[in-house]
Structure 1
Amino acid sequence: MQHRVIISGFGGQGVVSAGRILAYCGMIEDKKVSCLPSYGPEMRGGTANCHVIVSDEDFGSPVLNSATALIAMNNPSLEKFESVVEEGGIIIADSSLVDKKPSRKDIKVCYVPATNKAFEMGNAAFANIILLGKLIGETGIVSEDNFENALYKILSQNKHHLIPAEMEALKYGIEYKE
């Protein structure tokens, strides 16, 4: 199985971090992975996206012309990448910031109030983790256990105290029902 995921939003929302975590989870599971970040000219506050491939088989390019999944963290991301999602694919949107609806009917769409929930949890940076949780819950792209292992490997030691709360955020996303 090959998962081709685009994660997109404003700079500073953790788009690239989410891509790195997802790719690292795939590596822990001995899958073939790629993570290709792209930043807008302004960085924080500008646009950012990350192409992530997690696959059981070899693949050629890390650049995605089509995706099996899109995580849209803002309206411009949904507008830009909706057409790239393959028929039968999935769009996961942060309903706290995305008020547009996709025009297509051949894809699954999930809205999760990730930013609002992250603020409730006391850390706005958890929104990307919540959305990754929804992706994991819908696709099984990686396991929850390996997600926690990846956090311990990726985050600096002084951030390890946040991991239990991040795992709560992930679980919220996994279990979220509209």
Structure 2
Amino acid sequence: MTTEIILAGFGGQGILFAGKVLAYCALIDNREISWLPSYGPEMRGGTANCSVCISDEPIGSPVVANPDYLIAMNGPSYKKFIDAVKPGGLVLLDNSIVDEKCTRSDVKAISLPATDMASDAGLNGAANMVLLGRMLAETSLFSMETVQKAMEKCIPPKRAHLIASNLKAIELGMAQK
């Protein structure tokens, strides 16, 4: 079975980091993985998206044309990718930033004020992890134990103090189910 995910938003929102966490989760669970980042030359404030493929068998291409899951952290990303999500897929929106409402009836759409939730919890900049947590709660792709191990791999030792806050943000998102 193959699961394809697109995470998209502005540079600086942690899109690539969230995708990297998913990739490490898959590695830890001995799954096949591809992680394909895409971002504009302007970095912060520009567009950023990340395609993640997780599979039980070798992956032929890292390109995700029709994702099973979409995490959209801004309006332009939502507009760009919403029509590509497979019927029966899952769409997660940060409605602190995304004004659009999902009108597709063939996907499950969840709007979460992730940026506001993260800020209110003292976790500024962790909206990406709130949305990732909600996706993990909806899909059961990985256990929290796997997520913690992945986080420990993704965050360098000199920034180890950020592991706890990122895990707290994931748990905050999971608790919204």
Same fold (TM over 0.5): yes
Give SS of 2:106's match: coil
Q: Which residue of 2 aligns with 1:111?
A: 111
Give SS of 1:26's match: helix
Give SS of 2:126's match: helix
1:45 maps to 2:79: no
Aligned residues: 177
RMSD: 1.1
- Aligned residue type for 1:48: A
- TM-score between both structures, scaled by the size of structure 2: 0.96
Q: Which residue of 2 aligns with 1:163?
A: 163
Measured against aligned partners, the alpha-carbon deviations of 1:6-43 in whole angstroms (never above 9, x if no partner) come to: 00000000001111111011100000001000002321
Matches within 5 A, 1:5-154: 5-154=5-154
Check conservation: 1:54, 1:141, Cα contact below 8 A.
Answer: no
Q: Which residue of 1 aligns with 2:175?
A: 175
Taking the aligned partners of 1:167 and 1:8, their CA distance within structure 2 comes to 20
Give ranges in structure 1 of 5+ residues lacking alignment.
Answer: none
Check conservation: 1:36, 1:63, Cα contact below 8 A.
Answer: yes
Give SS of 2:3's match: strand
Check conservation: 1:67, 1:85, Cα contact below 8 A.
Answer: yes
Give SS of 2:134's match: helix
- Aligned residue type for 2:44: R
Taking the aligned partners of 1:2 and 1:45, their CA distance within structure 2 comes to 32
- Aligned residue type for 1:22: L
Deviation at 1:165, TM superposition (A): 2.1
Give ranges in structure 2 of 5+ residues lacking alignment.
Answer: none
Taking the aligned partners of 2:12 and 2:64, their CA distance within structure 1 comes to 22
Relative to structure 1, is the Cα distance of residues 33 and 131 closer, same or farther in structure 2, using a 3 angstrom cutoff?
same
- TM-score between both structures, scaled by the size of structure 1: 0.95
Taking the aligned partners of 1:130 and 1:95, their CA distance within structure 2 comes to 12
Check conservation: 1:3, 1:141, Cα contact below 8 A.
Answer: no
Taking the aligned partners of 1:20 and 1:176, their CA distance within structure 2 comes to 23
Taking the aligned partners of 1:157 and 1:48, their CA distance within structure 2 comes to 25
Deviation at 1:154, TM superposition (A): 1.3
Deviation at 1:112, TM superposition (A): 1.3
Taking the aligned partners of 2:174 and 2:83, their CA distance within structure 1 comes to 25
Measured against aligned partners, the alpha-carbon deviations of 1:62-102 in whole angstroms (never above 9, x if no partner) come to: 00111000000011111000011000001001111111012
4+ long deviations beyond 4 Å: none
Taking the aligned partners of 1:50 and 1:147, their CA distance within structure 2 comes to 18
Taking the aligned partners of 1:133 and 1:50, their CA distance within structure 2 comes to 17
